[in-house]
Amino acid sequence: MRESADKCPMCGQDNKCAALKKSNGTCWCVGKPPLPSEILTQYEWRPCFCENCYDKIIAQSKQNQQ
What confidence tens digit (pLDDT) does each residue in 2-39 have? 445 678 888 888 876 655 555 556 677 777 888 888 88
Give, in order, the Cα–Cα distances in Å from 59 to each of 23, 24, 52, 62.
29, 30, 11, 5
pLDDT at 53 over 50: yes
Say if pTM beats, i.e. exceeds, 0.75: no
Q: Taking residues 38-63, what's their average pLDDT?
A: 84
Q: For the chain, what is the radius of gyration of the CA atoms?
A: 12
Measured in whole angstroms, the distance separating CA 1 from the mean position of its chain's CA atoms is 19
pLDDT attached to residue 47: 63
